[in-house]
Structure 1
Amino acid sequence: MSLDLSQKADLVPLAQVVGSLQRVAQPMDVDFFLMGAAARDVMLRHVHNIEPGRQTQDVDFAVMVPDWESFAALRAALIEGGDFSERPGPATHRLRHQSGLPLDIVPFGGVERADRTIA
């Protein structure tokens, strides 16, 4: 099933983040998808017309990388591209889009152990 949400004005900020992420990730051959509460909220609100009870403050994207070096390169390229900046704290997966929207990039793929935990 494919959904056309392109005419949803309240999704423009999210679309800007996706575009910025795509401009960097695509040339690096990194696939990604929206996950977590933001994905839930999009489905509830725009597909089922249900207002989610609690609003999330950030958006989470899963990024498929073959190893930690690729994750580090993606993160560095996102920041160097100018649309993203680091967020304070030790967590390297937390960034902020130039629009002010905070996001987390969560690696999966080659960084996982056989038991599906992150190495």
Structure 2
Amino acid sequence: MTNSCANLRHPIDVPTASLLDRLTATANEQGIDLLLVGAFAREVLFYHIHGIETGISTMDTDISVHVADWASFHRLRSALQHTGFQIADDPVEKIRDTASGKEVDLIPFGPVAGADARLEWPDQGPTWNVLGFEEALANAILLPVQADGRESVSIPVVTIAALVMLKIVSFYDRPKERVRDVRDIGFVISHYLDAGNRERLLAQADLVARAARDPNVAAAHLLGQDIRSMASEATHRYLVERLRHETTSSSDCPLASTLAKKSCQGKFHAARALIQSMIEGLETHYRKTP
């Protein structure tokens, strides 16, 4: 994991800080790594760190949990009952903070998912693809939280590039349920340069030329480069194969079609241009990682 610590322009609200503090402290006691993902991670990365309003309200807090097995996951859930959380047997991933009323989804990943990164929920039917979570944790930034007068703790948060990587995987895993992931991908692309990346773009002459024609196309390329820099070989291969299919298929283009509707004013060719640019970023000097 990286050691960089987030500097916040806007502090986390007290109820959420308390929630994260108790979650993190409990996980630390059990030697379990957490990873803040999903909608609230998006808010942290854009609004709290960069001051960029997302215009998307959410009460959801998604926390990925790196565990060896289901026994470790259930021990954590049980321990959280003693720190102000309510747990339920169905669905097993949901807990509720009694103080704030906020719901938290705990998403296991790591060895519990097996070598193929497919998470099999106990007695719950469909599996979930958790490909990319290991890389996201390894490249996370640290969000310091302090509440209730206790010593500050830090919870790992996905980077913006890792957030998009996970959202692409999530969308393809459950496309009908995860349309909001595509909306978030479009938001990230349109604001990526303003989230601390504009100077990086200026250092690449070919991207400067792209940005002159369409800043979002250039941003998608830079985003692809950043995903490439952290992705394992398996994750990289999965992403490139899926995205390339979006640009070549005449009818089976779920990501491009949804991106066009949600972020490109209905322009399918514009959505495909963003995807193609991201592919080119993903394939630029690909560095294989374990």
TM range (shorter): 0.7 to 0.9
Looking at both structures, which has the greater relative contact order when contacts are Cα pairs under 8 Å and sequence separation is at least 6?
1
Structure number having the greater helix percentage: 2
The 8 Å contact of residues 10 and 51 in structure 2, kept in 1 or not, is answered as no
- Residue identity matched to 1:62: S
1:6/1:12 Cα in 2 relative to 1: closer, same or farther (>3 Å)? Answer: farther
The one of 2, 6, 9 aligned to 1:3: 6
Post-superposition Cα deviations, 1:30-82, rounded to whole Å, max 9, x if no partner, equal 11021111000111112222211221222011111110110011111111x14
Deviation at 1:111, TM superposition (A): 1.2
* Cα deviation, residue 12, structure 1: 2.2
Corresponding residue number in structure 1 for 2:25 = 23
CA drift of 1:3 comes to 1.7
2:94 is aligned to 94
Determine the structure 2 residue equivalent to 1:13: 15
Residue among 67, 70, 76 paired with 1:68? 70
Whichever residue aligns with residue 102 of structure 1, its letter is E
Count of aligned residue pairs for this structure pair = 116
User: Percent identity among equivalent residues?
Assistant: 36
Deviation at residue 6 of structure 1 after TM alignment: 8.7
Displacement of 1:4 in angstroms is 2.7
- Superposition pairs for residues 78-117 of structure 1, below 5 Å? 78-79=80-81, 81-86=82-87, 90-98=90-98, 99-117=100-118
2:60 maps to which residue?
58
Instruction: State the 1:7 CA deviation.
Output: 6.6
TM-score w.r.t. the length of structure 1 is: 0.86
Distance change >3 Å, CA 4–CA 48, structure 1 → 2: closer
Taking only aligned residues, the RMSD between alpha carbons, in angstroms, comes to 1.9
Distance 1:5 1:11, change over 3 A: farther
SS at match of 2:113: coil
> How far apart, CA to CA, are the structure 2 residues paired with 1:6 and 1:71?
34
Q: Which runs of 5+ in 2 are unaligned?
A: 121-290
Q: Give the number of the structure whose alpha-carbon radius of gyration is greater.
A: 2
